Structure formats: C-alpha cells, structure tokens
Amino acid sequence: MPYYEIYLTDTDKDGDLEVHKSDCRLTSGKIPFRTIGYHLNCQKAIEYVKTIYIGKTIDGCKICIPECHKR
Ligand SMILES: [Zn+2]
C-alpha cells in the first residue's frame, strides 16, 4: 500500500492541496504539508483528505498518481 502526503500547490490557487505518494520525484527534498499515511489507492487517499479539508480543492499529482489527476 502506498504512503501518501499532502503538499500545498504553488502553481494553482491559494490553499489548494495536492496529494502525492511519498516517493514522488516532484516532491523529493520538500517538506510535506501533512502526511496522511497508508491508503489502498489514490482514490481512497483523496476521499480521506476531503473528510479533513472540507471545501478545499484537492487534486492528485499528475506524475505519481496520474489516475487521480483531474486538472
Ligand atoms: Zn507526485
């Protein structure tokens, strides 16, 4: 099961959150905004994040979880 982390996006609007796997090459060396632990897949990880940050725009990384990247 992959381990997921959340990062604040710097390219999108303020406060948008992006979900990554912990081994994503885009975020290597960066400090995560928050870690969210192990989830079965990215859909489950994003569902979980939506229960914490209600009303926020949440997207998946286009590199490490392209199947959950919407924008
Ligand atoms: Zn990523």
Residues 28-68 have pLDDT tens digits of 999 999 999 999 999 999 999 999 999 889 999 999 999 99
Q: How confident is the model at residue 19 (pLDDT cuts 50, 70, 90)?
A: very high
CA distance 45 to 71: 17
**pTM of the predicted model as reported, rounded to 2 decimal places:** 0.90
Q: Which residues face 8 on adjacent strands? A: 17
Compute the half-sphere exposure of residue 70: CA atoms within 13 Å on the CB side of its CA.
Answer: 11
Q: Which residue is it, tokens 């099961």?
A: 1
DSSP labels, 20-66: EETT-TTSTTSPPSEEEEE-SSHHHHHHHHHHHSTT--EEE-TTT-G
Tell me, in angstroms, the distance from the centre of ligand 1 to residue 64's CA: 4
Quote the ligand 1 centre to 27 CA distance (angstroms).
Answer: 6
Q: pLDDT value at position 71? A: 76
Q: What is the arithmetic mean of pLDDT over 14-25?
A: 91
